[in-house]
A and B are shown apart, each in its own frame.
Chain A
Amino acid sequence: MLLIQGVTNMTKRVLSVQGLSVQFQTDSEKVLVVDDISFDILESETFGLVGESGSGKSVSALAILRLLPRSAKMSGKHVFFKEQDLLTLPEMNMCQIRGRRIAMIFQDPMIALNPVKSIGHQISEVIKIHFELSPSEIKSRVLTLLRQVEIPSPESRIDDYPHQFSGGQLQRIMIAAALAGEPDLLIADEPTTALDVTIQAQILTLLKSIQRQVGMSLWLISHDLALVSSMVDRVAVMRKGRIVEVAETRQLFNYPEHAYTQKLLAALPSIDSCRAEANVTGDILLELKSMSISYPVRKGFFNRIVSHHQAVDGVNLTIHAGKTLALVGESGCGKTTLAKGLLNLIENVDGQIIWAGQNINGLQGEPLRQMRSNIQIIFQDPFSSMNPRMLVGQIIGEGLRSLHPEISSQQRKVEVATLLQQVGLPAECAMRYPHEFSGGQRQRICIARALAVRPKLIICDEPTSALDVSVQEKIILLLKSLQQQYGMSYLFITHDLAVVSEIADELAVMYEGKIVEYGPVYQLLNDPRQPYTQQLLKAVPKISVD
């Protein structure tokens, strides 16, 4: 603390928060979301706020901008921005601070931008509000900003609409709009969470370099410890509305003081902790032979099929019994399509899917239903993957009811209770609805549902990417122990290479529908041959404190 005090005295504070609390009033109760937090952000410093979802990170940022919903009440000693106390400032003056002096960028640029206005228009709107400039000056200013965030050929793209840009480009445009007011403080709330790993790295580098050029302060809010470690000067760790630890980055990552910080750091999957053996042997469970999936592209007046989009392009893969094959790639590269094709959930699948010597591609009707119990799936989003109107017991028992109708309802109840215990939930959960559970618990229920029919292969489609780090670790451990117990195989789809090293035996890297590299995890992570794999590996944020 002494050290920070010293630093504080030397450089000027941009933002100084003392004792800020935010309380939400729901129908029946009051919830303290932010509980008496205090921190400072210094001039041209990068400050990180880390915590799991629901810990109150975003709420504190919104509270400082006074953008909270009406049901929220905030209180505190003071929130000084430069010399002004934002807690007592009239709303009129607050409008001049928001967007001009303090700007904010959000997680999902798709939602933050208006889809029916051109991006040039949206950026110039910000400039118009805060500066008195002529139209031509505004335009040149917009062009400068777009150049600054490295949008290629901004002159031709200034009149394009948001849907004509990729996710990473949109986030760049959001940054440009935020910079338009020439702010002293930029709040970035999970700016890269919605983006792919490689693009994530580019955006962060961009933010860092712009910060250096402009000399503003940056307040980075994230759940990702590794990402924060490479970016910021000081970190605050938040938990259940409280800041449990504030320290300089190096200090915090090397010598975490608070038990929670230590736990967070320990839970972080690391790419170096590869457990896999060099060679994968065993019986072949499933073989994909030149599997291709294409979508027809329809255009014109009569919806004619003009071409085919190749989502999965000639994939050859082998899954061994009792082993885990990880499938890695960016969003949109065809991973999920491959999984759905494998499960016979979509049509237009070419090639062979060989299960126990039999081609199951294109199977229909009763034979397909009988095959179903062999392959199951766990989805990414634990919120949409369970029917909100069914009890957990019904959800887990669904597969037994349809595939094993011979089991009586009494036996089924016993079975459901055993399954719940196996995934680490109390048996009473069967009589509750899914919405009463947290994300991690829901994912456990999904695992129990898949497990119920005793599959030999479970496809895990990004099962942990919607979860917090510490929960993620527990789910991975559960999956591993279940594999040891039942000897089933996993096809583990993910974009996170760190998770891969924890669980997988083999790794396949997918790019634009093709498998670019395929082999044992150990070999691929330590000695990647293909440039794309190398690029992926390099982009993974690591705790890097020198």
Chain B
Amino acid sequence: MIILWTDALIYLLLTTAMVSGFFLRNYEGLKRPLNKIATNKSAMVSMIILVFFIAIGLLDSLHFKAEGQRASGVISVLDYCTQPLWQQTEKTYSAPFSAYLYSKAYITQADGYQSWGFPRLKFGGSHLLNPETEKTADVLIKLIVGLSKGFIFCLSWVGLRALYVAKKAGQSRLHVRPGFVGTTIIVVVVGLSGIIELSTYYHILGTDKVGEDVFYQTIKSIRTGLVIGSLTTFIMLPLAVVFGILAGFYRGWVDDLIQYCYTTLNSIPSVLLIAASILMVQIYMVNHPELFTNLESRADLRLLFLCLILGVTSWTGLCRMLRAETLKLREMGYVQAAKVLGVRPIGILFQHILPNVMHIILISVVLDFSALVLAEAVLSYINVGVDPSTYSWGNMINGARLEMAREPVVWWPLIAAFVFMFILVLTANLFADAVRDAFDPRRNQHD
């Protein structure tokens, strides 16, 4: 078992969320909003997809030593589960579902005769004798097999559960009627099962320049995206909220000081700051080789540092917004009334100001989350992003620069990264929208 820094922080975040959930489970004021979210269909679909993403990210955050595997000798639970995906590497590019390489080469045939053409892949579709004629039917069959496997799995699970419920209630008849959420879960599970079945025979999203499976890269990038999004937010949020609200509420010299800080920070180009600190980390790692025994921990430290520096440079926008909103709120009747009622400033901040700026925080956190995933791509472009050995959508998009200029075009890494990023950002947005609406009492008027 090896615990990387980001692993520890991710699980710390998860534990914090679960503990606070446990303590808040009986809180009266939460019931109505939670019910409201539960009845919102798009929110629930988004949540289920998000949960799948997060589960993959969490699996990918449990690392252990596996001698002989990989250059670093460190693999994650996700790697363990998907071994065939990353062990079956081809020579170079191949298109999705293809049985041939994407570029021509000399093929040595059985009789020793050499010809110039597209060689067969070592793994993708290698079970086919004649790909031209068999492939389409085979893909369909494999897909159906995969889907039915998933369906049978779900059916047995639903059936078992219904049996259990029926037994508990002492009924003889089964009531199998999965609700909306159940249906969505079944659809996602069945779909995943189909994908898993297919991906054991084919490179469903093709391979990249060194022949690595793009589907595997995309899945691995989920963790990087989540880490950058969540850890950066985790660093940026307290800074923005505390400083923004304090500046707006107390005004005077507190306001001057905080404003001075963020104007100064804003006027330094953030790319320069990020590049400088990433270089610093690199030099530190070179000078202390004894602390970094494997590649994974180096890449991990760089990722952590990237989150840190992104967090430090990105709190100013939200801070400014919160300051302006607090300036407005502090003149509201209820804040004045609270003062007259002798409520202490700390009480006013927590009771009156914070709940009323929560919608701004939520919206900008989700927007920032998407922006951060994208920022990672931009930073990879100038080589100050995550370590080149770290799988990330940013690195994939960065690589696509050359692939798009190639003839014929290699389009699949870019599309794969784009689609996954799109799904993550879209579901996060939809879910956050629903959360914001649910916690706004003014929107519950027609319940």
- Could you tell me which A residues sit within 8 Å of B by CB distance? 26-29, 340, 343, 345, 369-370, 372-373, 375-377, 379, 381, 384-391, 395, 398-399, 402-403, 433, 435-436, 446, 449-450, 453
Contacts and interface: CB of A to CB of B under 8 A. Distances in A.
Contacts of B446: 26-29
Contact of A377 (B336, B343, B352, B445): B336
A398 B340 contact: no
A386 B332 CA distance: 9
Contacts of B341: 372, 376, 398-399, 402-403, 449, 453
Contacts of B441: 388-389, 433, 435
Contacts of B356: 387-389
A384 B338 CA distance: 13
B442 interface: yes
Interface of B: 29, 332-334, 336-344, 347, 351-352, 355-356, 441-442, 444-446
A387 B442 contact: no
A343 B445 CA distance: 35
A281 B352 CA distance: 41
A343 B335 CA distance: 13
A460 B341 CA distance: 15
Nearest to A28: B446
Given A385-B337, A389-B441, A436-B445, A372 B342 contact: yes
B343 A384 contact: no
A453 B342 CA distance: 10
Contacts of B336: 340, 345, 377, 379, 385
Nearest to A459: B340
A379 B333 contact: yes
Contacts of A29: 446
A452 to B, nearest CB: 8
A88 B351 CA distance: 54
Given A375-B340, A387-B351, A389-B441, 20 more contacts: A26-B446, A345-B339, A345-B340, A369-B342, A377-B337, A381-B333, A384-B332, A385-B332, A385-B334, A386-B333, A387-B334, A387-B355, A395-B334, A398-B338, A398-B343, A403-B342, A433-B441, A433-B442, A435-B445, A449-B337
Contacts of A377: 336-337, 340
Nearest to A399: B341
Nearest to B341: A399
Contacts of B347: 402
Nearest to B353: A387
Nearest to A380: B333
Q: Which of B333, B351, B442 has the most CB of A within 10 A?
A: B333
7 contacts: A377-B340, A387-B355, A395-B334, A398-B341, A435-B441, A446-B337, A450-B337
Nearest to B334: A387
A26 B445 CA distance: 12
B347 to A, nearest CB: 7
B340 A372 contact: yes
A388 B335 CA distance: 12
A391 B32 CA distance: 13
A105 to B, nearest CB: 29
A386 B343 CA distance: 14
A277 to B, nearest CB: 31
Nearest to A432: B441
Contacts of A433: 441-442, 444
Q: Which A-B residue pairs are the 4 nearest by beta carbons? A: A385-B333, A399-B341, A372-B342, A379-B333
Contacts of B337: 377, 379, 385, 446, 449-450
Contacts of B444: 433
Contacts of B333: 379, 381, 384-386
